Chain A
Amino acid sequence: MAGFDKVVHSYDEALAGFKDGMTVMVGGFGLCGIPEGLIKKVYELGNKGLTVISNNAGVDGFGLGLWLEKRQIKTMIASYVGENALFEQLLLSGEMEVILTPQGTLAEKCRAGGAGIPAFYTATGYGTKVAEGKPTANFDGRDYVLERSLTSDFSLVKAWKADRFGNLVFRKTAMNFNPMMATAGRITVAEVEEIVEPGELDPQYIHTPGIYVHRVIKGTHFEKRIEQRTVRKA
């Protein structure tokens, strides 16, 4: 089947054209909803000099922590990077640059980038370090900062289900940054738990329409590691 069939059958195929120095968006919040297999494949490929846009930077030895291990990241754009000892070391030694970005601004940068909007005004960060060097404006008596949008060479996202046409459905809070990042990639690759035939997903409940998705791969293994397992007594 050709036409709109986006399904690829190997991680090599999923990442064909991935090069050193590229800008890469990676979905997920902490370790929830990350494209585990694609992250591992980029680690194996060993590409360097990457600009990585992701809310967090993984943990030591898992998720984006793997890319840190091989010094693959030149610039990291994230909102919170607290869970990673290696990250601290790379930052202090100057081997990696980090651009801390408020979480909502980061989400909106990806959303706007995918929607063809090059910049937007937000009140978030006005009067703080985040606004240093950026244009500001006052609308209706309130001050705003002009923020540039983001796009990527590759967006690597994780979804629950896809059909062959690349329509995506996410599961619970594993959705997070994945839908916006899917829209902002020159090439968007979705790693999913299940692939179904077109027509099997109810069109009323598609989260990300297939137009944004270029390649779909069924993940071979999802560890779904939990960072803070917190339970109550039954």
Chain B
Amino acid sequence: MALNRDQIAMRVAKELRDGYYVNLGIGIPTLVANYVPKGMQVMLQSENGLLGMGPFPTDEEVDADLINAGKQTVTTATGAAFFSSAESFAMIRGGHVDLTVLGAFEVDVSGNIASWMVPGKLVKGMGGAMDLVAGAQNIVVTMTHADKSGASKLLKQCSLPLTGVKCIKKVVTDLAVIEIRDGKFHLIERAPGVSVEEIQSKTEGELVIPDHVPEMTFD
């Protein structure tokens, strides 16, 4: 069975390590915050100027001056800090954030990512995505393996305008965990009950399949 949004987030959460500073994008990446393993401390960075983002506020706690990058009201975690947008992107572009998780439309075997613009549709802007992919050493992309018509999103070459070049090394989809190296996709894990054949059929770019492909496990 293909993973649902929460299960993708649960699998991404296994990439977290104690003491990580993490930036989570909008959509599935945001859900990762719900699955931080017990006993592990991570600090969430929100690029509008907050390190140490807490949960959503109660009605009484709502503060218009305290939002996340998705413009949702949030709270601060213990030990949080506020700062300007320039400071925030100094953290991101200076490579200080340990892990960035973001969504994408397409990824290719060279590690290129397209996530901000579909020609012919209204372009809303890249926000901080180009800075995040250029700045982070450790990026996990979350997306469905194929689009609604079944067409692969893991391509030989991205067809949409790029967000960044040669920057993606790991992708968690609803079907598989894929690593990108040496100009190829490498199948690392498959979703429970999903066959290697299905993953192969939905992966356009060259896919290296080891003899044994373990199923993902969830704690």
Smallest distance from the beta carbon of B204 to chain A beta carbons, Å?
21
A229 & B73 in contact (Cβ 8 Å cutoff): yes
For the complex of A and B, list the 10 residue pairs with the smallest distance between their C-beta atoms, beginning with the closest: A104-B89, A104-B131, A82-B124, A127-B165, A224-B64, A80-B125, A107-B85, A102-B130, A230-B72, A103-B128
Whether the Cβ atoms of B161 and A128 lie closer than 8 Å is yes
For the complex, what is the distance from the CA of A166 to the CA of B62, rounded to whole Å?
A: 29
Contact (Cβ within 8 A) A232 B93: no
Bound: A177/B48 CA distance, A: 8
Does B92 sit within 8 A of A, measured CB to CB? yes
| 8 Å CB contact of A231 from B49, B62, B123 | B62
Nearest A residue to B133, CB-CB: A124
A-B interface contact total, Cβ < 8 Å: 173
Given contacts A127-B112, A170-B82, A226-B62, 9 further A-B contacts (CB under 8 A): A80-B124, A103-B127, A104-B131, A104-B135, A123-B134, A173-B48, A174-B65, A175-B82, A226-B64
Kindly state whether residue A39 has any CB partner on chain B within 8 Å.
no
Chain A interface mostly helix, strand, loop or mixed?
loop
Interface residues of A in 1-56 (CB under 8 A from B): 29-33, 55
Closest to A177 in B: B85
Q: Across the interface, do B56 and A231 meet the contact criterion of CB distance under 8 Å?
A: yes
* Tally of contact residues, B, Cβ under 8 A: 52
The yes or no answer to B71 lying at the interface (CB within 8 A) is yes
Residue from A29, A124, A179 within 8 A of B93 (CB atoms): A124
Asked if A172 and B65 sit within 8 Å, CB to CB, the answer is yes
Which positions 79-112 of chain A face chain B at CB distance < 8 Å? 79-82, 88, 91-92, 100, 102-108, 110-111
In the bound complex, how far is the Cα of B127 from the Cα of A4, in angstroms?
A: 38
| Bound CA span A175–B86, Å | 11
CA distance A179 to B50 in the complex (A): 15
Distance between Cα atoms of A234 and B55 in the complex (Å): 11
Q: Is A233 an interface residue (CB 8 A)?
A: yes
B122 at the binding interface (Cβ < 8 Å): yes
Within the complex, the shortest CB–CB distance from A120 to chain B, in Å, comes to 11
Known contacts A102-B128, A173-B50, A234-B59; decide if A107 and B84 are in contact (CB<8 Å).
yes
